[in-house]
Structure 1
Amino acid sequence: MLTQISVAIIALAFAVLVFFLIKTLKAATQSLEKVTQTLQEVQKTVDELTYELKQTIRNTNDITVDVQHKMKQIDPVMDTVKNLGEALSEVTYAVKQVSSGMVSKFKQSRTEQKKEQHVRTEVPLTASERTFQSYDAVYNHDAEPAQEKSRSRNWLGYVDTAVGLWNSFRRQKAR
């Protein structure tokens, strides 16, 4: 009888073990199904992203081709701007040379005039000359700025003439 009870306990223990194994296997099966479903969703998302990525790359390639085409069209304009910059640089240099020459001549003539005035003002010969000189110094002080204004206008006229000549020269050189 003891063997029969032992066999019954073993059979009962085996049945409980099989019951819990079945329960565990069902839980594992459900987990694997969820993992499979998640992997399918991930694969679907990756496929969609791959399609969108390919479209984006195609659009980027189209834009690159369009930009390259437009850059080729802009190249002559850029060359023209470069040539214009060089021409303006040359004109600026020429105007600078002309103006520095004019300024040095202006300063030299101004210095010579001041020396002449200084020599004249140093030693007046008579009392009447001294009176006229003081009168001119007090009442005719506006005469010098008018002369300076006319000189500056003459100087600007020289600069305008030089720029006109330079433009004529550049036009002839361009032909």
Structure 2
Amino acid sequence: MEWILYVAALIAAIGFLVLCISLGATLFSVKKTLDHMSGTVAGIEGQLEGITRETTTLLAKTNDLAADVQHKVAEMNTVVSAVKGIGDSVTGLNQSISRVTSSISSEVNKNDVKVAQVVQWGSVAMGLADKWKNRKVIDEQQVQFTSSSNPVHSPKK
């Protein structure tokens, strides 16, 4: 019976040895995996450092660009204000021209009868002037005609 105890102890020792060997193999496998992960994490850290540097550079450029855009927007505001001022001036000029035109139109309408009379008197004056010119031409022609038709006789020698 004692030998059963030795056999049981031997089986337990062999089982413990198999357990230790499989546990060691598992730990070596886990070590390889952890080493691989460690390398991957180190690579990721390097890449993140590069990304961080690029991000910092990009952020600085973005800030410069934003400042430049704000400066240009401020300049554009002055241009827009100037264009608005020109638009307001043109609107004011259009309103002034409209007022002057309506004022002239209303004055012409008020003086419509007077204008018609001035036009009639002008026509009468032009007609009289034309008749006066025609009369002078006719008188000169008649004077020449009468002087050539009635010759002046000179005494005979």
TM-score, normalized by the shorter chain, greater than 0.5? yes
Matched residue of 1:65: which SS?
A: helix
Matched, 1:57 2:59: yes
The CA distance in 2 between the partners of 1:51 and 1:12, in whole Å, is 58
**Which range is displaced more, 8-17 or 59-68?**
59-68
Aligned twin of 2:23:
21
For residues 1-175 of structure 1, the aligned pairs below 5 Å read 1-71=3-73, 73=75, 76-104=78-106, 108=109
Decide whether aligned partners of structure 1 residues 40 and 97 sit closer, same or farther in structure 2, where only a CA change above 3 A counts. Answer: same
CA distance in 2, matches of 1:62, 1:23: 58
Corresponding letter in the other structure for 1:23: A
Larger deviation, residues 72-81 vs 5-14: 72-81
d(CA) in 2 for partners of 1:29, 1:59: 44
Q: TM-score, normalised by structure 2?
A: 0.57
* Deviation readout 1:92-150 (Å, 9 max, x if unpaired): 111222233445566x47xx79xx9xxxxxxxxxxxxxxxxxxxxxxxxxxxxxxxxxx
Segments of structure 1 that go 5 or more residues without pairing to the other structure are 117-175
Query: How much has 1:8 moved relative to structure 2?
Result: 1.2
| 2:40 maps to amino acid | T
Distance 2:17 2:94 in 1: 107
How many Å separate the matches in 2 of 1:82 and 1:89? 10
1:77 & 1:52 partners in 2: Cα distance?
37
- Based on CA coordinates, which of the two structures has the bigger radius of gyration? 2
- SS for the counterpart of 1:89 is helix
Q: What is the CA distance between 1:75 and its match in structure 2?
A: 5.5
**2-structure distance, mates of 1:16, 1:44:** 42
Letter matched to residue 57 of structure 1: L
Amino acid in the other structure paired with 1:41 = G
- Cα distance in 1, alignment partners of residues 62 and 12 from structure 2: 73
SS in 2 for 1:67: helix
Residue type at the aligned position of 1:96: S
Aligned length: 110
Q: Distance in 2 between matches of 1:27 and 1:102?
A: 106
- The whole-number CA distance in structure 2 between the counterparts of 1:78 and 1:15 is 89
CA distance in 2, matches of 1:39, 1:102: 90
Letter paired with 2:50: E
Q: Percent identity?
A: 24
Following the alignment from structure 1 to structure 2, what is the Cα–Cα distance between the partners of residues 46 and 9?
A: 54
